[in-house]
Amino acid sequence: MRVDIVTLFPEMFEPFLSTGMVGRAARAGALDVRCANLREHGLGRHRSVDDTPYGGGSGMVIRVDVVVGCIEAVEARAREGREGAEAERSHRVLLSPQGSVLDQRKVEALASLPWISLVCGRYEGFDDRVHAFVDEEISLGDFVLAGGEVAAMAIVDACSRLLPGVLGSADSAMHESHSPAMDGLLEYPHYTRPEEFRGMKVPEVLKGGNHAAISAFRREQAEARTAARRPDLLERAKRLRAERGAS
């Protein structure tokens, strides 16, 4: 999977891309992340990337010509010497608090793509005409960050875990919070040694070796935890099971 990140601060990504799961995915050849400095496509002697908004107002707005110029230059370099399917452009994602909220299903959809571009905003946002040149807009949630870099890191981190051969076990990504295998429920609790700590004991069922009983216990715990913390997810899980039963 190739990821191009358009940003004013490529230096923010240097330690992130070389450590942890993301670094492992890169070293394994499963992930290729490259940063493009938006400033290099700025205008004039000062490489300006923004301007005052038409109609007045506070702050500065990132120019559409600079953003699109950077995206297209990145894609043109990537296509050099390539033919056929590899010559297609990337799936372009604008990172903005106005976008659709990122969830595990969207992460899985992005991770299945061979090439995506993540466009990070700053200041008061983008000239609205940028939307005509991207495929979708994604947000981490209903809050505002100083820029899209943290959101880009979140997407790269989440996608890297799903790439073949990155996790030690394929089951690790299946049986976790929000996964389809869990019907989108929160993950069941885990325990390890010591068996007792300050009066809190590991549930007996987990020590008995009865896999059917363990599976039932974990499902029960996942549903209880979801009901307590995210009842909206529990209702969705019930609908999914009902739909499967009806089909």
Q: What is the pLDDT of residue 85?
A: 46
Domain end marker among 135, 160, 185: 160
Quick check: 217 and 206 in contact, CB under 8 A? Answer: yes
Compute the distance between CA of residue 203 and CA of residue 210 in angstroms, rounded to an integer. 13
Compute the distance between CA of residue 142 and CA of residue 97 in angstroms, rounded to an integer. 7
Q: What is the pLDDT of residue 197?
A: 98
Compute the distance between CA of residue 4 and CA of residue 113 in angstroms, rounded to an integer. 13
Hunting for tokens 């949630």 — which residue is that?
A: 141
Give SS3 for 117.
Answer: strand
169 domain-assigned? no
Tokens of 110: 């992005």
Domain that holds residue 232: 175-246
Q: Residues annotated as binding site?
A: 121, 140-145
Among 87, 60, 78, 69, CA closest to 4: 78
Hunting for tokens 């905003």 — which residue is that?
A: 121
Among 62, 36, 70, CA closest to 122: 62
Between the CA of residue 21 and those of 15, 31, 63, what are the distances in Å? 12, 10, 34
Among 118, 117, 120, CA closest to 8: 120
Identify residue 194 by its one-letter amino acid code: P
Q: Residues annotated as binding site for S-adenosyl-L-methionine?
A: 121, 140-145
Q: What is the pLDDT of residue 72?
A: 97
Q: What is the pLDDT of residue 182?
A: 86
Which CATH number is 224's domain given?
A: 1.10.1270.20
Examine the domain organization and report whether 137 and 181 are in the same domain: no
Name residues whose C-beta falls within 8 Å of residue 202's C-beta, 6 or more positions apart in sequence.
Answer: 191, 195, 196
Instruction: Catalogue the E-assigned strands of 90-228.
Output: 91-101, 115-120, 136-139, 196-197, 200-201
Examine the domain organization and report whether 31 and 120 are in the same domain: yes
Name residues whose C-beta falls within 8 Å of residue 164's C-beta, 6 or more positions apart in sequence.
Answer: 30
Examine the domain organization and report whether 124 and 204 are in the same domain: no
Quick check: 148 and 96 in contact, CB under 8 A? Answer: yes
pLDDT tens, N- to C-terminus, the chain (247 residues): 999 999 999 999 999 999 999 999 999 999 999 999 999 999 999 999 999 999 999 999 999 999 999 999 999 999 986 755 455 899 999 999 999 999 999 999 999 999 999 999 998 899 999 999 999 999 999 999 999 999 999 999 999 999 998 986 656 667 788 988 788 999 999 999 999 999 999 999 999 999 999 999 999 999 999 999 999 999 989 988 888 887 5
Examine the domain organization and report whether 156 and 73 are in the same domain: yes
Domain end marker among 136, 160, 184: 160
Examine the domain organization and report whether 81 and 153 are in the same domain: yes
